[in-house]
Amino acid sequence: MAALDRAKDESDATPPSLGPASDQIWLDLNFHLTELSAGNALIDDEFNEELFIKPLQKGYVYSNFQFTTKWNATIHHTDTFRHYHLFPKALGEVLLKYGVQELHLSQTQGLWRHKQWGYPVHDAPPGAELWVWFKPSVSNVDKAWTDLANAVSGLFCSSLNFMDSKNIITPRWSFRPQGLASQAYAFRSYFMRYGTLPHEIVCTENLTPWRKLLPCDSNAGLSTLFNAFHFHDANYHSLGLHVRPVCANPECTEEAIELSQSLSIVTDVVSTSNTGAPHWSLKSLFGNHLVSACPIASKSVIIVETAEQQASLPYRLSPNPTLGKEILRGEEKHNYAVYDVRSFTQHGRVLNVAGTYEDVSRLIDDAVPPPIHAHRYITGYGLADGGITCLIHNTLPVNQSILYMDVVPWFTRVYFSSLEVTNKDHKVPFKVHYVPAKDRLRPHHLELAFMLWPHSTTRVSFNFTRAFLKWTEYPPDANHGFYISSAVISALLPSSLEYTGPSQGASELSTIFTENSTNFMTRIHTESLLVSLPTPDFSMPYNVICLACTVLAIAFGSMHNLTTRRFVKEDLSKKKGVIAKLKSFFSRKKKEETAKETEKLAADQGEAKSESESSPTASYDNSNAEEQS
């Protein structure tokens, strides 16, 4: 139990709140910017653009654009959102209207493979993820969420409005405010909502409005590299947007609003290159050189993470970087090459950063998996019962406490009793926060805090049963299946192995060079899952209506007959077969016709005619009566 309590304590302490010390100032890279920053001194806002490139294993290259707008004004004052300069007005109005304190949105296509690729700067699940902290002044948080989701979907042309009460939750431990917040506010997650849309498709129409929020749009600077064709051809791409209140100065006497926009892409350079070698350049990644820096940006840099100690083969960068950096983050050494875009693109020159491997044949696959990575999948077979299992690997030589959060839709009914956390067949003690689902109202919300043992794999598993939906609740492509959003694993790692992001207090990537944190806040998202539910034949309701009506009509008809008709014993001598009836019917017709023809002549044949006509009349009436019944 002691271990469990500690896990809980540590997990609560996971998000380091922004203190004065955690905010670092950029000192190193002020080469040619003095002139411009003097010009910008009058304006409170600051804009920075950065591009981080890291070659991954197996010929993949990870590029992360980071645009940071810092607005020296407090988010809590309504008068703040009146006169905009670099901060986009379209977003500011939304933040003001719905009382938003922090907003984190990611729209992602593809899955980040932690085991091979390490950790990205901003981890994001496939599809869309939105989590928002509302101001304490918001009285009805759920309504504010609904309205905000609608406004944000309008702003980014996505279907975030489908994040309704059925798939949003209020996480208890896993999410804390990322920016400035009082302790009391941060630890009561009452004002926070978290929602995901795992099946949301991200495409050009999401990139365009996102890009429009940048002060330089795509007219100058790093954003000129945006090429929708290359982005959507990539193996993974993710748009992120984060708004939070931060400290305006190192002493933290003033507040500022920080808008951080990030765009991550993982490109497979081997398969797109002609040579089959993992050489890369800006041109091969984005289809273009860089010709300018955004003149509004106070800083415009490209940072390339060069080979780490473990990597097999160093590669050569061209042109030579402005400076190289060797940084010790925690225990691990990271090497960076920094390009100042402004000085490289002066006097009409172009910048095309390229990495070339000297000897391609010596490339070997020696991926070092990051400290924690996970794999989640559906278990069971058939359409009745199933389960979810998540394997969490810990490659560290020490115990690592983590928070595991899983949101399961209401129609996969979780058996809480089946929940278990095991490690090599030993049960792992865990602390749990579980909110069961309510049909059509809210999802299952499971949060676990437990310890990962050194060099081991921990298995979280639980079972569920599939519910029947109402026939109107099925989507048009019901047989495609239903998505279950990614699980979120949060941890405070002691190692910066494969870690790329800056510390939590900063968004700018260049703060990596000056920070000296020893703990690295990591949040990883697992695979999203697809379950199939029992799906009816959709013409069924109509068939049922028709069948039921017919049965009812038959039942009623016989009852009606029984009560309103008289049953008489028929005279057998008069009974005729069907053929005889038909014969007599036709013969009658014939006779009628001939009778008409011979009407004038047939005066003496009258007796015979009346004899033959009398019986067909009766039979005709009979058939008529039978038809009616």
Least gap, CB of 330 to another protein (angstroms): 40
∠ Cα 522 527 532 (to 5°): 150
In this structure, the number of other CB atoms found within 10 A of the CB of residue 89 comes to 13
Instruction: Identify which of residues 295 and 494 has a Cβ nearer to another protein in the complex.
Output: 295
In this structure, the number of other CB atoms found within 10 A of the CB of residue 279 comes to 20
For residues 586 and 578, what is the distance between their CA atoms, to the nearest angstrom?
12
For residues 198 and 167, what is the distance between their CA atoms, to the nearest angstrom?
11
Instruction: Identify which of residues 126 and 215 has a Cβ nearer to another protein in the complex.
Output: 215
Instruction: Identify which of residues 582 and 602 has a Cβ nearer to another protein in the complex.
Output: 582
Instruction: Identify which of residues 219 and 518 has a Cβ nearer to another protein in the complex.
Output: 219
Instruction: Identify which of residues 219 and 516 has a Cβ nearer to another protein in the complex.
Output: 219
Instruction: Identify which of residues 58 and 89 has a Cβ nearer to another protein in the complex.
Output: 89
DSSP secondary structure, 410-421, as one string: TTEEEEEEEEEE
For residues 68 and 50, what is the distance between their CA atoms, to the nearest angstrom?
8
Instruction: Identify which of residues 35 and 537 has a Cβ nearer to another protein in the complex.
Output: 35
Least gap, CB of 190 to another protein (angstroms): 24
In this structure, the number of other CB atoms found within 10 A of the CB of residue 592 comes to 13
Least gap, CB of 394 to another protein (angstroms): 44
Instruction: Identify which of residues 381 and 567 has a Cβ nearer to another protein in the complex.
Output: 567
Q: Which residues are registered as beta bridge partners of 259?
A: 69, 243
Least gap, CB of 80 to another protein (angstroms): 11
Instruction: Identify which of residues 545 and 602 has a Cβ nearer to another protein in the complex.
Output: 545
Q: Which residues are registered as beta bridge partners of 257?
A: 71, 245
For residues 395 and 94, what is the distance between their CA atoms, to the nearest angstrom?
43
In this structure, the number of other CB atoms found within 10 A of the CB of residue 67 comes to 27
Least gap, CB of 567 to another protein (angstroms): 6
Least gap, CB of 400 to another protein (angstroms): 42
Least gap, CB of 573 to another protein (angstroms): 12
Quote the radius of gyration of the chain (alpha carbons, Å): 37
For residues 406 and 196, what is the distance between their CA atoms, to the nearest angstrom?
11
Least gap, CB of 227 to another protein (angstroms): 18
- What residue ranges bind another protein (CB under 8 A)? 35-36, 39, 42-43, 81-86, 88-90, 93-94, 96-98, 151, 154-155, 212, 215-217, 219-220, 295-296, 542, 545-546, 549-550, 552-554, 556-557, 560-561, 563-568, 570, 618, 621-622, 624-626, 628-629
- How many angstroms separate the most distant Cα atoms in the chain? 134
The phi-psi region of residue 46 (left if phi > 0; otherwise alpha if psi is between -120 and 50; otherwise beta) is: beta
- Nearest to residue 303, comparing CAs of 333, 337, 252, 335? 337
Least gap, CB of 156 to another protein (angstroms): 10
Asked if residues 187 and 463 have their Cβ atoms less than 8 Å apart, the reply is no
